[in-house]
Amino acid sequence: MSVAQAVVADGTSRRERGGRSARREQRSHGPQGLGRPYITRNIPSYDILSEENLLRIEAAADRILAEIGIEFRDDPVALDHWKRAGANVDGELVKFEPGMLREILKTAPAEFTQHARNRERSVRIGGKNVVFSPAYGSPFVMDLDKGRRYGTIEDFRNFVKLAQSSPWLHHSGGTICEPVDVPVNKRHLDMIYAHIRYSDRAFMGSVTSESRAEDSIDMARILFGRDFVEENCVILGNVNVNSPLVWDATMTTALRAYARANQAAVVVPFILGGAMGPVTNAGAIAQSLAETMAGCALTQLERPGAPVIFGNFLSSMSLRSGSPTFGTPEPAIGSMVVGQLARRLNLPLRCSGNFTTSKLPDAHAMNEGTMSMLAAVHCGANFILHAAGFLDGLLSMSYEKFVMDADFCGALHTYLDGVQIDDNQLALDAFQEVGPGNHFFGCAHTMANYQTAFWDSEIADNEPFEKWEAAGGEDAARRANRKWKKALLEYEAPPLDMGIDEELQDFIARKKASMEDAWY
């Protein structure tokens, strides 16, 4: 007797119960709580380094900070902050006594809530919580039908809608792709509006200049109310170190704008070992720790207590071609170490994502992506940017990979739930009922548990070969192609208060009218 038959024998059919969508519904609200606003992990982080070796990395970072220092370019306010904090400032080069940054970082919260306009979708960042957010920053988009081309605002909106449609992502992300059909100096307005209009989840703002960061925050103020924003995190800004050991004013002024408004900067060195950092993993990790501590500490000098996320982006490079590589084993291992280091600083962590250099949503893409994404969840990352869509070494956002990755994020919900150990899960009554040599298909324990038993992928095809072949013998990319088109067709925008919508549109129109289009 198959499960389906067993269910019929049980008096109701799967169809009567609504089949897959009812099951998903039940999962969303059931005891396992799949389809949650974010994940609270039930498995520990994977700690691969000993205390002794962590101390050696921290000592190396301290020496980099004390002996080599970090340049803060073209931002006199940042330099003033450092002088007042007691750093050794020589021109734009800042050196830090060991322990100084750790002391400053004590005011940063270990955990905070980023509010969504749908308050049921607010996310908790830090601690045992895990938030999946789409990939960020690709100039190109691609799909199986039209291949690779520059991203447009229509693509951008499509990806916001696809993320909103997925029960397995928790965040709307930021610059999901660059909308190159909108002037560079006005893009941020249309991107923020798309996040607000087409998603009811939390999102990220612009960091490409201080004024664009402030526009982003102002739009969040319209959405959430000025007083609420003053007290609560409602927007993130992802700022990058110009590795090695340089912070540019574009980034520090944006970082300070977010901190000043009590919003969270995500502080991220981007280190390709052998290029922007040493070719050896331990050195790249030490550098990353030094750079991130400095950036995070600057947020606390701007506004003590402002939320901040300890970020990280390690990767390797092909030493034959000089091309960056992604999803390789060294950064996966590096992520695990970075996770340990971030926890010792008691800061929320952003780490890794679904990285790959593949130019297609193929075996190469998912091999690298899966290793990289598992490193993110194993290392204890709290905010996982690049969780869906990453292809082509971050140069392209892929429609098919997006839905594959989102599906994998679903599997990771089950994975991070670990194993429940209780009498029902241990199932001794089932063994008593079934006994040696018999099957468990229709037994009472199976009937009571099957609906929430196993992760049920929408991308995997686990039908027998003959059935799969008769249905067209499609590969996963082709299935994903149908899936994103269906999701866009079925998409419905979440309701948005008309007054707020008008105020946002007025703000955007005023801002756009106030400046000439700039295209670079």
Please list every residue from 391 through 420 that binds a second copy, using CB under 8 A.
392-393, 395-396, 401, 404, 408, 411-412, 414-415, 418-420
Show the binding pattern over residues 179-218: x = contacts a second copy (CB under 8 A), - = does not.
----------------------------------------
Instruction: Report the residue number, 428 or 493, with the smaller CB distance to a second copy.
Output: 428
Helical pair 249-260 and 76-85, crossing angle rounded to 10 deg: 70
- Is 64 a binding residue for a second copy by CB under 8 A? The answer is yes
* Minimum distance of a second copy from residue 248's CB (angstroms): 10
Element holding 325 (H helix, E strand): strand 324-325
Question: Could you say which of 18, 44, 76, 225 contacts a second copy (CB under 8 A)?
Answer: 44
Q: Strands (DSSP E) along 25-69, which ranges? A: 39-40
Q: Does 477 bind a second copy (CB under 8 A)?
A: yes
- 3-state SS, one letter per residue, for 144-208: CCCEEEECCHHHHHHHHHHHHHCCCCCECCCCCECCCCCCCCCHHHHHHHHHHHHCCCEEECCCC
Q: How far is the CB of 223 from a second copy (least distance, A)?
A: 36
281 near a second copy (CB under 8 A): yes
Q: Is the dihedral of CA 502, 504, 508, 514 positive or negative?
A: positive
* Interface pick for a second copy out of 427, 488, 496, 500 (rule CB under 8 A): 427
Handedness of CA 340, 295, 382, 334 (dihedral sign): negative
> Which residue of 77, 93, 184, 500 would you call a contact of a second copy, by CB under 8 A?
93
Rg (CA), the chain: 24
**Phi, psi of 317, rounded to the nearest 5 degrees:** -140, 155
Whichever of 476 and 487 has its CB closer to a second copy, that residue is 476
Residue 408 C-beta: closest distance to a second copy, Å = 6
272 CB-near residues (< 8 Å, 6+ apart) = 315, 316, 317, 324
- Among 129-137, 152-160, 422-430, 509-517, the segment contacting a second copy (CB under 8 A): 422-430
Enter the tokens of residue 314: 């390690």
- For residues 5 and 14, give the distance between their C-alpha atoms in angstroms, rounded to a whole number: 10
Within positions 319 to 378, which residues make up the interface with a second copy, using CB under 8 A? 319-326, 328-330, 332-334, 336-337, 357-371, 374, 378
C-alpha separations of 344 from 47, 71, 340, 380, 468 in Å: 12, 25, 6, 12, 49
| Of positions 21, 91, 227, 439, contacts a second copy by CB under 8 A | 439
| 3 lies in the site for a second copy, by CB under 8 A | yes
What is the total count of residues that contact a second copy (CB under 8 A)? 136
Q: Does 13 bind a second copy (CB under 8 A)?
A: no
Block residue for tokens 């990453």:
390
Restricted to residues 117-176, the positions that interact with a second copy (CB under 8 A) are 140, 148
Least spacing, CB of residue 381 vs a second copy, in Å = 16
Q: For residue 177, state whether it binds a second copy (rule: CB under 8 A).
A: no
